[in-house]
């Protein structure tokens, strides 16, 4: 069943559903009158004599060149074809479906001046599964995500390429197989399609949704590591975090307390433990992961606004005037992407320190070296920890802010750009790394908890332990490890680990409202 989009009020939760499930989306029919009214205004201008940017003029540095009414359709077609300059591998299909959905939302606000035929074709492409091939690179995040969105628009014209039912086809062939016909763009429609931040925003949203899943998973593995190391849950006491007041910190602490509830391991060392304090990677989980959660929430609020925004140019205003502005500049998205990158980096950094703690017999409170059952003969999880360190370091290198960079383009007409698109795209690689780091922590924590038998961990963590043991057996002797790491990473990336515990435990860690 298709998701109904109400422009201006689409929630992060709705966008997340589109991203994870691929459900098609369509505009609320209440949008139609405003779309038609703006389209009529554009048609009126196109048939007149007064020059208006993007309707009957050239683009960018060529805006002073007047275009005759007879050439308006050719102008739009040429615009799309000339801007199809993307390079690199295609964006993932779920990202492209999100791009199409975001474009629908923007057009649905009734300020872009496109005909309803454009909206109906995008809706039909989502419904039928025609997914444009959009190369990953080519946008600097200003004047819109021009190259990526041009590849999207090209398919609508019967050009370019698209995926359909698992095949990569010419755009016209993909439309035909889906029973759809290409469209001839009218005045301003090409510009409306390629102006906008939808590629950058979709990538940033994908990074946000993936980072949030990783953050929830890291609380589960962090709790399991705490028990494996015989750490104390005392630093998770609610009043400690209330006294500081940060929402994310309080929410993470509450989840940790619930996950460690009824742990026999904990009860076994309440009395007589000579350790006064645990290392920061155990003790400061609420402070670090909570701060990361708050960063994700801040970025999510920005991206929710952007997802509902009109970001092409020029815009048809409520009084019928058509005015050029700069809503296509993706600076808010670039800042949000940089925030998400920092959070991803830090979630992985503290998780990696917990992995290092568990494999170090000097720190792990009685666990064998590298969690091997016969250390020396077996290396256990020695190199899994090294891999986690490599991934952590790689994420640190990628966390440098993209938004502080700029370079003039388009003959200095576009002289300050946001770099939002690749700033957001890097989040996908960073979250892949993070999924693996947390997966490795899951393996080390599970192995450590099992070394505490016959004592049992908390009730909810037993469920998480069962989830990993369904796909990765306990490490008895050294074996070929790469498949284990891959399987554990998939448990995190696919949401299986999060789904293994009571949803109420992580409910307080929501990012959206």
Active-site residue set:
53
* pLDDT in the model for residue 142: 87
Q: How many helices, marked H, and strands, marked E, lie in the chain?
A: 21, 9
Q: Is residue 497 part of a domain?
A: yes
Q: Do 505 and 436 belong together in one domain?
A: yes
Q: Do 160 and 278 belong together in one domain?
A: no
* pLDDT in the model for residue 69: 79
Distance, in Å, from the CA atom of 49 to the CA atom of 314, rounded to the nearest integer, reads 17
* pLDDT in the model for residue 55: 82
Q: Is residue 317 part of a domain?
A: no
Q: Do 158 and 266 belong together in one domain?
A: no
Q: What is the pLDDT of residues 371-416, one digit of tens each?
A: 999 999 999 999 999 999 999 999 999 999 999 998 888 777 777 8
Q: Is residue 315 part of a domain?
A: no
Q: What is the pLDDT of residues 216-257, one digit of tens each?
A: 999 999 999 999 999 999 999 999 999 999 999 999 999 999
Q: Do 89 and 184 belong together in one domain?
A: yes
Q: Is residue 373 part of a domain?
A: yes
Structure tokens at 408: 């003039």
Q: Is residue 448 part of a domain?
A: yes
**pTM beyond cutoff 0.85:** yes
pLDDT block averages, 10 residues each, the chain of length 513: 94 97 96 97 87 76 76 90 97 98 98 97 98 96 93 98 97 98 96 96 98 98 97 95 98 98 89 77 98 98 98 94 92 97 98 98 94 96 98 97 87 82 97 98 98 96 98 98 98 98 97 85
The residue segments making up the domain with residue 88 are: 3-196
CB 418 within 8 A of CB 141: yes
The DSSP-derived string for 196-212 is: SSHHHHHHHHHHHHHHH
Dihedral in degrees, nearest 10, Cα atoms 147, 141, 307, 98: 40
CATH code of the domain containing 287: 1.20.200.10
Q: How many distinct structural domains can be found in the chain?
A: 2
Q: Do 174 and 217 belong together in one domain?
A: no
Q: Do 455 and 502 belong together in one domain?
A: yes
Q: What single DSSP character describes residue 249? A: H
Q: Do 170 and 240 belong together in one domain?
A: no
Q: Do 258 and 339 belong together in one domain?
A: yes
Distance, in Å, from the CA atom of 310 to the CA atom of 315, rounded to the nearest integer, reads 8
Q: Is residue 480 helix, strand or coil?
A: coil
Q: Do 126 and 168 belong together in one domain?
A: yes
Q: Do 186 and 208 belong together in one domain?
A: no
CATH code of the domain containing 182: 1.10.275.10
Q: Do 490 and 399 belong together in one domain?
A: yes
196, 230, 254 — which closes off a domain?
A: 196
Q: Do 30 and 174 belong together in one domain?
A: yes
Q: Is residue 267 part of a domain?
A: yes
């Amino acid at each position: 069943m298709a998701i109904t989009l109400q422009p201006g009020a689409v929630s992060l939760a709705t966008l997340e559903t589109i991203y994870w499930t691929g459900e098609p989306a369509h505009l609320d029919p209440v949008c139609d009158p405003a779309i038609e009214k703006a389209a009529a205004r554009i048609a009126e201008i196109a048939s007149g004599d007064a020059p208006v940017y993007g309707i009957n003029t050239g683009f960018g540095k060529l805006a002073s060149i007047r275009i005759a009414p007879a050439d308006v359709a050719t102008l739009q077609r040429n615009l799309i074809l000339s801007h199809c300059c993307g390079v690199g591998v295609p964006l993932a299909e779920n990202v492209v479906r999100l791009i199409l959905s975001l474009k629908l939302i923007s057009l649905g606000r009734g300020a872009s001046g496109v005909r309803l035929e454009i909206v109906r074709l995008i809706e039909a492409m989502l419904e039928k599964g025609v997914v444009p091939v959009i190369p990953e690179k080519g946008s600097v995040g200003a004047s819109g995500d021009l190259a990526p969105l041009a590849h999207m628009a090209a398919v609508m014209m019967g050009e370019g390429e698209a995926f359909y039912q698992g095949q990569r086809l010419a755009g016209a062939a993909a439309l035909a197989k889906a029973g759809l016909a290409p469209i001839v763009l009218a005045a301003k429609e090409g510009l409306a399609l390629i102006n906008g931040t939808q590629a950058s925003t979709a990538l940033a949203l994908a990074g946000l949704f993936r980072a949030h899943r990783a953050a929830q998973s890291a609380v589960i593995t962090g709790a399991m590591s705490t028990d494996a190391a015989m750490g104390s849950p005392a630093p998770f006491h609610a009043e400690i975090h209330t006294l500081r007041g940060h929402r994310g910190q309080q929410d993470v602490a509450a989840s940790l307390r619930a996950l460690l509830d009824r742990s026999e391991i904990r009860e076994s060392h309440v009395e007589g433990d000579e350790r006064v304090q645990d290392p920061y990677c155990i003790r400061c989980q609420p402070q670090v992961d909570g701060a990361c959660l708050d960063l994700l929430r801040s970025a999510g609020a920005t991206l929710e606004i952007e997802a509902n925004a009109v970001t092409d140019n020029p815009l048809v205003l409520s009084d019928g005037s058509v005015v050029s502005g700069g809503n296509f500049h993706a600076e808010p998205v670039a800042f949000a992407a940089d925030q998400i990158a920092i959070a991803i980096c830090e979630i992985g950094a503290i998780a990696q320190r917990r992995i290092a703690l568990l494999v170090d017999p000097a720190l792990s409170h009685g666990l064998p070296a590298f969690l091997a059952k016969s250390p020396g003969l077996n290396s256990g999880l020695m190199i899994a920890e090294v891999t986690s360190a490599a991934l952590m370091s790689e994420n640190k290198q990628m966390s440098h802010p993209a938004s502080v960079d700029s370079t003039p383009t388009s003959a200095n007409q576009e002289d300050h750009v946001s770099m939002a698109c690749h700033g957001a795209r890097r989040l996908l690689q960073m979250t892949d790394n993070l999924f693996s780091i947390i997966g490795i922590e899951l393996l080390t924590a599970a192995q450590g908890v099992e070394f505490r038998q016959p004592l049992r961990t908390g009730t909810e963590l037993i469920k998480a332990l069962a989830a990993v043991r369904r796909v990765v057996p306990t490490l008895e002797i050294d074996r070929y490890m790469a498949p284990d790491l891959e399987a554990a990473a998939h448990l995190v990336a696919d949401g299986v680990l999060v789904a293994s515990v009571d949803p109420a435990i992580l409910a307080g860690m929501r990012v959206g409202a």
